């Protein structure tokens, strides 16, 4: 039963990944087309990050009132409404559509992670993380390119319809599977949820704080890659579809995650993370220096993605092994905010950089961030 549960949960993450990745390249290209330049795109993504952060903090309270399936249903409805707004391709609906999209993804991630913590044994978490990421490999490999291709070949609304369909399928699958979920998934927190108290409690724990900071850096780099690589491709004259293909190639390294997971278990997750952050940072800076040569710069960016993907061999294991069982719900909600902070802070910095500098400055900033994270890995426990 334990193995079947792991496979089932990995399948749920596959559907979540499909709902995200089919519009992954479509969204920044849509924003660029509607807003006109990379600086405005960065500003919009910063606003979306603030709203998404607030939305994530509200999810534990919503879970208490609506139950986990209720929150999943709310997330599915939000994603469907987001798809409708974005398919209209209007400036006035762009921000609302992106905010709803971010909230929907937050609902999926928080609830699925809570189910995982309830149903996957602690000593199996590292192996499950590798399986989860491997199951998401196909959407991450083909989704960014496929979304753009379907828009060009069929209609602009097709990727958004697929995203909504994947979310609805996930909700139905989890509803049918709920009868074998562990009883702990039905427990309520022993005290009322207070976001401020939960934030203080989370950041007072060094291991949770470190896991969060490293996850912010990892997610911020992928956000940089997913948003600015297609923009770079368009500005370099390579075109929309090549931009989507580059993102797919970079995310396609996800197929290597089982190997990285094995290497982490064999040589230590600490060493794996240090190497991934350091090499990824160096190559990102190198790519910035070579962006004048469009194809060569793009190739180095894809190589940087290979290095950064090795970090996913550890996944969120550092957090999952550090969180206390009685704090899973509240601490998971706060930990997942790393995505919102990664979506908020870097675009704000990049928007400022782009006022003075050209696009390569974005990649230099991302590379420095990754090198700083490599230094922080020294504080990961040696037994990890």
- In angstroms, the CA 186 to CA 68 distance is 9
Look at residue 1 in the predicted model and tell me its pLDDT: 40
- In angstroms, the CA 308 to CA 248 distance is 14
Q: Is residue 230 within 8 Å of residue 243, measured between CB atoms? A: yes
Q: What are the backbone angles phi and psi of residue 140, rounded to the nearest 5°?
A: -70, -30
**pLDDT, tens digit, 9 for 90 and up, residues 180-209:** 454 444 444 445 556 677 778 888 888 888
Distance of CA 148 to the CA centre of its chain: 19
Look at residue 66 in the predicted model and tell me its pLDDT: 83
User: What is the CA angle 327-333-334, rounded to 5?
Assistant: 90
- In angstroms, the CA 338 to CA 316 distance is 11
Q: What are the backbone angles phi and psi of residue 381, rounded to the nearest 5°?
A: -55, 140
Look at residue 200 in the predicted model and tell me its pLDDT: 81
Residues of the chain with pLDDT under 50: 1, 179-180, 182-190
Look at residue 191 in the predicted model and tell me its pLDDT: 53
Look at residue 124 in the predicted model and tell me its pLDDT: 67
Q: Is residue 311 within 8 Å of residue 221, measured between CB atoms? A: no
**pLDDT, tens digit, 9 for 90 and up, residues 346-374:** 767 777 777 777 777 888 888 999 999 99
Q: Could you tell me the sign of the dihedral formed by the alpha carbons of 46, 274, 312, 380, in that order?
A: negative
- In angstroms, the CA 117 to CA 106 distance is 16
Look at residue 3 in the predicted model and tell me its pLDDT: 52
- In angstroms, the CA 353 to CA 99 distance is 24
């Amino acid at each position: 039963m334990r193995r079947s549960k792991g496979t089932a949960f990995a399948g749920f993450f596959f559907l979540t990944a499909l709902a995200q990745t089919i519009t992954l390249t479509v969204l920044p290209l849509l924003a660029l087309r509607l807003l006109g330049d990379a600086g405005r795109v960065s500003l919009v993504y910063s606003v979306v990050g603030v709203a998404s952060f607030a939305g994530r903090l509200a999810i534990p309270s919503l879970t208490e009132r609506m139950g986990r399936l209720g929150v999943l249903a709310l997330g599915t409805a939000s994603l469907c409404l987001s798809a409708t707004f974005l398919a209209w391709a209007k400036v006035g609906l762009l921000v609302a559509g992106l905010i709803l999209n971010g909230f929907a993804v937050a609902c999926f991630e928080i609830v699925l992670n809570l189910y995982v913590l309830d149903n996957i044994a602690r000593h199996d978490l590292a192996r499950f993380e590798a399986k989860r990421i491997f199951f998401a490999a196909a959407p991450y490999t083909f989704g960014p390119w496929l979304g753009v291709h379907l828009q060009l070949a069929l209609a602009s609304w097709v990727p958004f319809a697929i995203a909504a369909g994947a979310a609805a399928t996930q909700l139905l699958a989890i509803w049918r599977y709920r009868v074998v979920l562990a009883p702990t998934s039905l427990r309520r927190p022993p005290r009322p949820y207070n976001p401020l108290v939960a934030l203080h409690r989370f950041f007072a724990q060094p291991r949770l704080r470190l896991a969060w900071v490293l996850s912010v850096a990892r997610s911020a780099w992928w956000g940089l890659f997913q948003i600015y690589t297609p923009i770079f491709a368009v500005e370099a004259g390579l075109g929309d579809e090549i931009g989507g293909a580059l993102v797919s190639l970079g995310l396609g390294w996800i197929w290597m995650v089982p190997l990285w997971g094995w290497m982490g278990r064999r040589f230590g997750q600490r060493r794996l993370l240090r190497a991934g952050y350091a090499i990824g940072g160096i190559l990102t800076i190198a790519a910035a220096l070579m962006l004048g040569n469009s194809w060569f710069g793009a190739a180095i960016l894809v190589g940087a993605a290979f290095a950064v993907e090795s970090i996913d061999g550890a996944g969120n294991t550092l957090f999952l092994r550090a969180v206390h069982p009685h704090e899973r719900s509240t601490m998971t909600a706060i930990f997942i905010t790393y995505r919102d902070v990664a979506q908020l802070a870097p675009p704000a910095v990049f928007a400022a950089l782009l006022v003075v500098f050209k696009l390569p400055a974005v990649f230099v900033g991302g590379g420095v961030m990754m090198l700083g994270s490599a230094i922080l890995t020294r504080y990961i426990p040696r037994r990890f």
